[in-house]
């Protein structure tokens, strides 16, 4: 770190100084550098919250008020069936509730060169899509007398996705749902399935439906793919998400590829990455609706959701149960349960926060209620002595 920056160690956080050291040019004049540092110091001081400022209430109001204006439910990708993305208030609720299963998972897969320039982009995108056997089948016929089933394939589909009947036969042989069936590859490129036993005929009809949903290739969970050109590169947008498997692929840019599932990011990359994902997802939802909210409000919410070491939703099962105050926990939902549990263990409420002080009707320890005035109060006897003099 430069000597000029070290002089500001007591005035600015080390992270800010490190960022400045990276961003400022090496040949910057000493006078100009000092002016930049003084300006950064001023901006930093103005960004700090005043002691006693009720930042939680301001954040809740700032997000809640424009949230009432948000109505849009889903965004549909034109020309692509089944590819919708939940936006607006429903998406905001999903993020703040920290739901592990969200209504419309999606990914943006960034690619390495030359694929990011468009090479084999459609073929690459199709290879990612989870494909079931029914998408390759042209016809299924059943021979009732011999309890045999013949599966014929669409050659064009096989060629487009670089598959063949031999590979499919191998997949069917390993499938746990088809145990008890004899699977053979015929010379004409079709597959024959035979059942035996007392329930052979009944079994062959059941297999006819079951066999259609056997997973053949692609990435599980990716139901739709759409190559999109953004500025000078191609990106694959998907409906469905499987970040763990996608990151294993050699042609994927692992640094930029992302998913809108916060729980998936938490499992793979940890709590810091999940915090960043919450911030980005909230800002994205608000920006899509044309709503501008100070980023610090979003940071405060994401910090509250992740400070315990794992992602907790803004609900009675999430951050509310982590509150140290008995009355604050009881004020949200299920009050009797919290009060009884606190009574059993002899828990004490220090009345340090807003909710519990509002409940017992006394000034809250924020804003003008934070400082206490210490005065010496005269007694009646002292008043009489003073009046005589």
Cα→Cα distances 13→20, 257, 273, 279, Å:
11, 31, 21, 21
Contact 298, 314 (CB under 8 A): no
pTM: 0.77
Are residues 158 and 97 part of one domain?
A: no
Q: What is the CATH number of the domain that holds 382?
A: 1.10.150.390
Residue-wise pLDDT for 267-320, tens only, equals 999 999 999 999 999 999 888 888 888 888 999 999 999 998 999 998 878 888
Residues 6 or more apart whose CB falls under 8 angstroms from that of 46 comprise none
Q: Quickly count: other Cβ atoms within 10 Å of residue 305's Cβ.
A: 24
Residue-wise pLDDT for 248-261, tens only, equals 999 999 999 999 99
Mean pLDDT score, 342-363: 89
Domain membership flag for residue 213 = yes
Are residues 135 and 212 part of one domain?
A: yes
Distance CA 248, CA 260 (A): 18
- Classify residue 164 as exposed, middle or buried by CB count within 10 Å of its CB (0-12, 13-18, 19+): middle
SS3 content of the chain, % helix, strand, coil (to 5): 45, 15, 40
Q: What is the CATH number of the domain that holds 281?
A: 1.10.1790
- Asked if pLDDT for residue 247 goes beyond 80, the answer is yes
Q: Pick from 293, 266, 272, 228: which is nearest to 83 by CA?
A: 228
Are residues 198 and 175 part of one domain?
A: yes
Are residues 159 and 98 part of one domain?
A: no
Domain membership flag for residue 360 = yes
Q: Cis (ω within 30 of 0) for the bond into 114?
A: yes
Domain membership flag for residue 191 = yes
Are residues 344 and 310 part of one domain?
A: no
- Asked if pLDDT for residue 360 goes beyond 70, the answer is yes
Are residues 311 and 345 part of one domain?
A: no
Contact 1, 21 (CB under 8 A): yes
Domain membership flag for residue 112 = no
Tokens coding 286: 């608000």
Which of 2-6, 97-101, 277-281, 375-379 is predicted most confidently?
277-281
Distance CA 94, CA 40 (A): 36
Distance CA 34, CA 2 (A): 12
Distance CA 319, CA 341 (A): 18
3-state secondary structure of 199: coil
Q: What is the mean pLDDT of the chain?
A: 84
Domain membership flag for residue 115 = no
The DSSP 8-state label assigned to residue 99 in this structure reads -
Query: What's the distance, CA 208 to chain centroid?
Result: 38
Q: Pick from 208, 188, 190, 191: which is nearest to 144 by CA?
A: 208
Parent domain of 73: 50-102+261-322
Residue-wise pLDDT for 24-49, tens only, equals 888 888 888 888 888 988 888 888 88
Distance CA 341, CA 376 (A): 42
3-state secondary structure of 218: coil
Instruction: Tally the domains of the chain.
Output: 4
Domain membership flag for residue 249 = no
Residue-wise pLDDT for 190-231, tens only, equals 888 887 777 777 887 888 788 888 888 888 889 888 888 888
343: left (phi over 0), alpha (psi -120 to 50) or beta: alpha
Dihedral, CA of residue 306, residue 308, residue 309 and residue 311, to nearest 10: -40
Domain membership flag for residue 25 = yes
């Amino acid at each position: 770190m430069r000597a000029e920056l070290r002089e500001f160690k007591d005035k600015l956080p080390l992270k800010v100084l490190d960022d400045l050291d990276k961003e400022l040019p090496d040949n910057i004049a000493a006078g100009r550098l000092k002016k930049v540092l003084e300006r950064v110091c001023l901006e930093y001081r103005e960004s700090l919250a005043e002691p006693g400022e009720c930042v939680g209430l301001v954040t809740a109001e700032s997000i809640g008020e424009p949230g009432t204006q948000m109505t849009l439910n889903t965004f549909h990708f034109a020309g692509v069936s089944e590819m919708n993305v939940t936006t607006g208030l429903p998406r905001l609720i999903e993020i703040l509730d920290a739901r592990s299963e969200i209504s419309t998972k999606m990914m943006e897969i960034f690619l390495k060169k030359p694929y990011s320039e468009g090479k084999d982009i459609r073929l690459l995108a199709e290879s990612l899509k989870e494909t079931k056997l029914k998408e390759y089948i042209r016809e299924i016929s059943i021979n009732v007398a011999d309890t045999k089933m013949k599966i014929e394939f669409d050659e064009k589909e096989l060629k487009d996705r670089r598959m063949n009947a031999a590979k499919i036969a191998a997949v069917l042989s390993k499938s746990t749902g088809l145990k008890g069936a004899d699977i053979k590859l015929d010379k004409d490129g079709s597959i024959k399935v035979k059942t035996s036993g007392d329930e052979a005929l009944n079994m062959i009809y059941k297999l006819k439906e079951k066999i259609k949903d056997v997973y053949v290739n692609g990435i599980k969970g990716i139901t739709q793919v759409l190559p999109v050109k953004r500025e000078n590169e191609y990106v694959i947008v998907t409906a469905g998400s499987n970040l763990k498997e996608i990151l294993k692929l050699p042609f994927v840019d692992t640094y930029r590829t992302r998913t809108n599932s916060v729980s998936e990011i938490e499992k793979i990359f940890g709590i810091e990455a999940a915090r960043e994902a919450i911030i980005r997802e909230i800002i994205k939802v608000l920006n899509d609706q044309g709503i501008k909210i100070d980023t610090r409000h979003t940071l405060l919410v994401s910090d509250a959701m992740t400070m315990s070491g794992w992602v907790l939703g803004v609900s009675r099962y999430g951050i509310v149960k982590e509150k140290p105050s008995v009355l604050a926990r009881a004020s949200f939902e299920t009050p009797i349960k919290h009060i009884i549990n606190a009574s059993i263990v002899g828990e004490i409420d220090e009345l340090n926060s807003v909710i519990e002080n509002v409940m017992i009707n006394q000034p809250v320890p924020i804003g003008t209620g934070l400082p206490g005035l210490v005065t010496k109060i005269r007694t009646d006897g002292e008043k009489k002595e003073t009046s005589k003099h």
